[in-house]
Chains A and B, each alone.
Chain A
Amino acid sequence: MPRRVVRSEQAPAGAAKQDDLDLSQVATIVDEGDAHGNLIALLQRTQSEFGYVPEPAVDEIARLTGVPASRIYGIITFYAQFSTVPSGRHKLLVCHGTACHVAGATRITEALEQELDVPDGASTADMEFSLGSVACMGACSQAPVMRVDEETYGNLSADHTRKVIREFVKELGLEAHYPGIAGGGSTGGGGGGV
């Protein structure tokens, strides 16, 4: 479980500058924390405020609660839910539960990695998409499954996945950012090379 903390200087280009963060909310969150000073709850609320847990917010929590920042990072890196870097505007989550795995979830992730030129677990350079995986969504009979923001897709093939993401990118008018998609690709579009 322990993962390396990606420090802010390694944050992807285009991420909100952390100097611009309004940290006044952190004090409110700390004030409203439960009597036991539950750090997980504090961090969950911090993350829902900022979309991730920014480094300055951790320092602020440490200052206000007296809990060393190292212990706070200990919790952040332990739980998969927390992220210290901002995520893309649109979230693509591929289920890698057992049923999805035997139904070919790896091919779904690979197709998305290729179309958007982004590795699993990272965000695209333009910060439009984050690609991630989840252990099980509990919709095993629809395997393999992925979620694109609030929309869910089941019984996927790699081919269908490519279609879904291409259409979505075009809908957003972002083809120019993704050469593979702008070119039309082979799926459902122009013919393959002969």
Chain B
Amino acid sequence: MPTEGVKVAVSAERKGKRRVSVCAGTACVFAGSMKVRDAFVAEVEAAGMRDAVEIAIIGCHGLCSQGPLAVVSDGDTYYPRLKVKDVKRIVEEHLAGGTVVERLLYVDPGTGARIACAHDIPFYSQQLRIALRDVGVIDPENLDEYLARGGYEAARKALTAMAPDAIVEEILASGLRGRGGAGFPTGTKWKFARSSPGDVKYIICNGDEGDPGAFMDASIMDGDPHAVIEGMVIASYAIGAHEGYIYVRAEYPLAVRRLRLAIAAAEERGFLGEDVFGSGWAFKLKIKEGAGAFVCGEETALIASIMGERGMPRKRPPFPAVSGLWGKPTNINNVETFASVAWIIAHGAAAYAAIGSGTCKGTKAFSLAGKVVNGGLAEVPMGSTLRHVIFDVGGGIKDGREFKAVQLGGPSGGCVPASLLDTPVDYESLAATGAIMGSGGMVVADDTTCMVDLARYFLQFTQNESCGKCVPCRIGTKRMLEILERITKGQGRESDIASLELLASTIKKTSLCGLGQTAPNPVLTTIMYFRDEYEAHIAEQRCPALSCDALIAYTIDADACTGCMLCAKKCPVDAARGEKKQPHIIDQELCIKCDACRAACKFDAVNIVSGPREIAAAVTAQRGG
């Protein structure tokens, strides 16, 4: 299996230096990686090794749950979960002394063995990276590092040695399909835009990654911005567009900053501008920052937003390829789609088409989150099974709990249960489960996740983000949300499931755009696969996952409680109380169900119970002692 893009230390090797690459992806930065970077700089300086060791930042390295992490170039030694105090040891023992710091190496959760080299860690060795080929390898703020990895070679070849039609044919032959989720063949889209009459055409990169729980596009934009730009340069020439926009979600300031730097650097070298690669081709690229509206991920809404209007979708046709931005032919592709283009031109359509399954070629990037061991960014060949992604790459479920479902495609997607774990990851197979491929967000749920509440969460999201233009979406999602809220509060009615199904089918059939047409998916799939949970909420006022606040109670098991008083100390509302060394109780009148007592208890004495009878029994038991 080719593993494009795992070898680290590009620029450092050229300069004959060793290199420490510190991950500066969003999750690692949140976990404090910039402090770790500063510590490396200071310690290397203090050890007098400034000329021999380069401290670099890299985009998302992938295994976010192990952050902050750093990779040392000799042997690509992988140091996860770093603290500032660990840095001195790595500099002294490894960089100066030449001995890997065993104690700080990654521990395989499966075998318990320590693994030194990044490529030997299952999370990485099980992947195949094309769109993410340089993410986590190069310094995203340094164009030379992208060039050292063959960057802009494909664009140069395309613009100086290929005819636009030949490029479109190449993309068609590769089988690349839109990675934003809908899976429309990219080559066909380009062909439409190319053959549309008109001198002025536009291309747009859709970086409005709005699905909560998805961060692939962000990682590409802030980890390898030139890959996106290069793909757009190739597309501009193939389609005949001299102007392009990258529309970036408002919540991604890092992506905006890195893209701006990358565009300026590319302009300086003549990879963008009036005369790209001296070919005479002119292409100008601009960034448009979104203003916070999920629906702008829909292409006609996105175009309205670039024009400074309310981002409301309109009816298609005319499709943007015919009449898009300012009424001109416009081609819109997603970030990951553009990031795959240069690889295809460089390696040939056949190489790309050789990867993947029947109707779905190439690879797909996923963000793995939720109750999975290896949370992070992964790219696998199309057609890999969900089981492969979640268990082989993802390392299975956290805390040894049980897999319940995986939520794919965010608010437009659905929940796939354990019985369908061997479903291949491709557009058609996932659609058959009722979920969708979507942009690639995978949120894993375990037995503590309530599926009714998860459906309610997504409905609340889409209801909030509905633009309000069409009635089924605006009012239909509101009615569905009201029903779901009622059910999670234990006030469900017998007819509620049927009402939800009726509303869902009407909304799917009659909404104007993709937001409304897919909004019911989370509800429909959870009803399809977890109907018993809905029924337990409605008929028994019981939440089987012990998650819905209105249906649960915290009580203390008098036999297990030692009277250590820790829960009483942690309780913010003085609901947990008792005498020292005597079993405590939780006052149900005062309890706000914040979970602080259960999290604090060292004796597993705090229980969550659900259902009126169960609660009554547990409350009586804790009083009775």
Q: What is the size category of the interface that chain B forms with chain A? A: 35 or more
Neighbouring A residues of B252 by C-beta, 8 Å: 138
| Known contacts A79-B290, A157-B599, A162-B572; 17 further A-B pairs (Cβ under 8 A) | A1-B465, A1-B467, A40-B291, A40-B305, A81-B290, A97-B212, A111-B572, A137-B30, A138-B214, A138-B252, A139-B27, A139-B215, A140-B370, A142-B67, A159-B570, A186-B573, A192-B571
B570 contact set on A, CB distance < 8 A: 159, 186-187, 192
Q: Which segment, of B7-15, B83-91, B590-598, B604-612, faces chain A?
A: B590-598
Q: For the side of the interface on A, what is the size category? A: 35 or more
Does B396 sit at the interface, judged by CB under 8 A? no
CB pair B251 A98 closer than 8 Å: no
* Stretch from B105-113, B139-147, B306-314, B421-429 contacting the other chain: B306-314
Binary per-residue interface labels of chain A (66-98) against chain B in the complex, 1 for a CB within 8 Å, 0 otherwise = 000000001100111110000000000000111
Shortest beta-carbon distance from B229 to chain A in Å: 21
A39 partner residues in chain B, CB cutoff 8 A: 308-309
Tell me, yes or no, whether A143 is within 8 Å of chain B by CB. yes
Q: How far is the CA of A194 from the CA of B294 in the complex (A)?
A: 49
Q: Are B30 and A152 in touch, CB under 8 angstroms?
A: yes
In the complex, are the beta carbons of A102 and B574 less than 8 A apart? no
Report the bound CA distance from A159 to B307 in whole Å.
45
Smallest CB separation, A78 vs chain B (Å): 4
Chain A 92-117 interface mask (CB, 8 Å, partner B; 1/0): 00001111011110010011001000
CB-based contact B577/A98 at 8 Å: no
Q: Which of A1, A98, A157, A159 touches B410 (beta carbons < 8 Å)? A: A98
- Segment with Cβ contacts to A, from B39-47, B166-174, B441-449: B441-449
How long is the Cα–Cα vector from A81 to B311 in the complex, in angstroms?
13
Given A98-B213, A135-B251, A137-B26, are A187 and B572 also a contact pair (CB < 8 Å)? yes
A16 at the interface (CB under 8 A from B): no
Q: Do B289 and A2 have beta carbons less than 8 Å apart?
A: no
- Between B370, B571, B573, the greatest number of chain A beta carbons within 10 A of the residue's beta carbon is seen for B370
A contact set with B: CB distance below 8 Å: 1-2, 36-44, 74-75, 78-82, 96-99, 101-104, 107, 110-111, 114, 134-143, 145, 152, 154, 157-159, 162, 185-187, 191-194
Within 8 A of A (CB), among B420-463: 441, 443, 445, 449, 454, 457-458, 461
Q: Which residues from chain B contact A96 at a C-beta distance below 8 Å?
A: 212
CA distance A112 to B599 in the complex (A): 18
Which of B370, B464, B572, B576 meets A99, CB within 8 Å? B370
Question: Does the CB pair A159–B599 fall under 8 Å?
Answer: yes
Known: A135-B461, A136-B213. A154 touches B308 (CB 8 A): no
Is the beta-carbon distance between B568 and A154 smaller than 8 angstroms?
no
Report the Cα distance A142→B29, complex, angstroms: 11
- Chain B residues near A158 (CB-CB < 8 A): 572, 594-596
Is B250 interfacial (CB 8 A cutoff)? yes
Considering residues A74, A103, A193, which has the most beta carbons from chain B within 10 angstroms of its beta carbon?
A193
CA distance A103 to B565 in the complex (A): 26
- Report how far A81 CA is from B294 CA in the complex, Å: 12
Q: Which of B26, B211, B219, B294 has the most CB of A within 10 A?
A: B26
Does B579 make an interface contact (CB < 8 A)?
yes
Complex Cα gap A158–B592 (Å)? 11
Contact call A98/B212, Cβ cutoff below 8 A: yes
Q: Across the interface, do A81 and B367 meet the contact criterion of CB distance under 8 Å?
A: no
> Once the chains bind, are A82 and B464 in contact (CB under 8 Å)?
no
26 contacts between A and B (CB under 8 A): A1-B295, A1-B464, A1-B467, A2-B468, A36-B307, A39-B309, A78-B312, A78-B467, A79-B311, A81-B291, A97-B212, A99-B212, A114-B572, A134-B251, A138-B218, A138-B252, A140-B215, A143-B370, A158-B595, A185-B572, A186-B568, A186-B571, A186-B574, A187-B572, A187-B596, A194-B577
Do B308 and A41 touch (CB < 8 A)? yes
CA distance A157 to B457 in the complex (A): 20
Contact of B212 among A81, A135, A193 (CB under 8 A): A135
Within 8 A of A (CB), among B244-261: 250-252
- Inter-chain CA distance A43–B420, complex, in Å, is 48
Which residue from chain A places its CB closest to the CB of B580 in the assembled complex? A194
Interface centre among B31, B64, B293, B577 (most CB of A within 10 A): B31
| Chain B residue nearest in CB terms to A152 | B30
Structural contact, A1 and B468, CB atoms closer than 8 A: yes
Asked if B375 lies at the interface with its beta carbon under 8 angstroms from chain A, I say yes
Interface string of B311-353 (1 = CB under 8 A from A): 1100000000000001000000000000000000000000000
Is B376 in the interface zone, CB < 8 Å from A?
Answer: yes
Min CB distance A38 to B, Å, is 4
CB < 8 Å neighbour of A97 from B31, B213, B565, B600: B213
The answer to whether A102 and B30 have CB atoms under 8 Å apart is no
The distance from the CB of A48 to the nearest CB of chain B, in whole angstroms, is: 11
CA distance A156 to B464 in the complex (A): 26
- Chain A residues with CB under 8 A of B367: 138, 140
Interfacial chain B residues near A142, Cβ < 8 Å: 27, 30-31, 64, 67
Of the candidates A41, A75, A141, the one whose C-beta lies within 8 Å of that of B67 is: A141
**A75-B27 contact, Cβ under 8 Å, with A2-B468, A137-B251, A140-B369:** no
B572 touches A186 (CB 8 A): yes
What residues on B are CB-neighbors of A38 within 8 Å? Answer: 307-308
Chain B residue at smallest Cβ distance from A2: B468
Q: How far is the CA of A114 from the CA of B593 in the complex (A)?
A: 13
Kindly provide the distance from the CB of A140 to the nearest chain B CB, expressed in whole angstroms. 3
A75 partner, pick from B310, B371, B592, beta carbons under 8 A: B310
Residue B407 at the chain A interface, CB threshold 8 Å: yes
B602 contacts the other chain (Cβ, under 8 Å)? no
B540 to chain A, nearest CB (A): 23
Q: Which of A42, A80, A141 has the most CB of B within 10 A?
A: A141
Q: Please judge, given known A-B contacts A1-B467, A98-B212, A139-B27, whether A74 and B310 are in contact too, CB under 8 Å.
A: yes
